Structure 1
Amino acid sequence: MSSVQIARYIISFSWLYHGILPKLIHIAPLEKLMTASLGLSESMSYLITKSAGVGEVIFAILLFVYYQSKVIIVLNIMALIGLLLFVVALQPQLLIEAFNPVTTNLPIIGLSLVLLNSLKAQPENNRR
């Protein structure tokens, strides 16, 4: 299996996992903490968390299918940076926890760069 396919699978799986398990199946305590820090009602926080989960699942599928799209890859990187900045601004104490956004987002950004680099090696007409 090529490094491009490994990157594709890991990035897609990460979005899928983080959308389904800690948001849709069971809202994880840290997810509740993050949305609560927005200062919204509990029902609105619940709705935002569930919506984010659906969005992450959709994005996982899009990225899996269109992994050769520069736009999708750049959106992925921007989303991961944005989510990391969200934690920095609202819950910076989470940055020192085990399995924190630094140790999850930065490697996925690195794998996204592998996908971007693979696009440079392809002729333009082979991309989606």
Structure 2
Amino acid sequence: MQLVPVAPEAALERADEAVDLLLESGRNPGDILVLTADQPHPWQQHELSFGADRYWAQLAEGADVFYADVALTRPARREVVVLVLDTADAGRCVLALEKARTHAGSLLVVCGATAQLPEVPATEGQAVPA
């Protein structure tokens, strides 16, 4: 797990930067799942504008980065999960982390108010490509 501490209002931007770093390092877009703890990611909103069926089909196809709310109820496991802690609510952050762990294969990148999380073995900073 990698922690990228940043204020909740900057978590989304930092998560997008983490995704860019992962892609630049050679990660397959279909290996990446971005989960938000509070507000939907703008790309998720864009994809949903084409209809729920098309949105969920993208998850099944697994060809591109998939953006969803951490409350995702469909089975979704990707090698890399980027968790956006875009809330200051400590309880929601802890629950979001627990949920995100169930979706991550080899790497979980947590962007946001990471100081609110229980002590977990992690690396801090920007060294995302793992």
> Which one has the largest radius of gyration?
1
Normalising by the smaller structure, the TM-score range is: 0.3 to 0.5
Structure 1 length-normalised TM: 0.34
Structure 2 length-normalised TM: 0.34
Structure holding more helix per residue: 1
Structure holding more strand per residue: 2
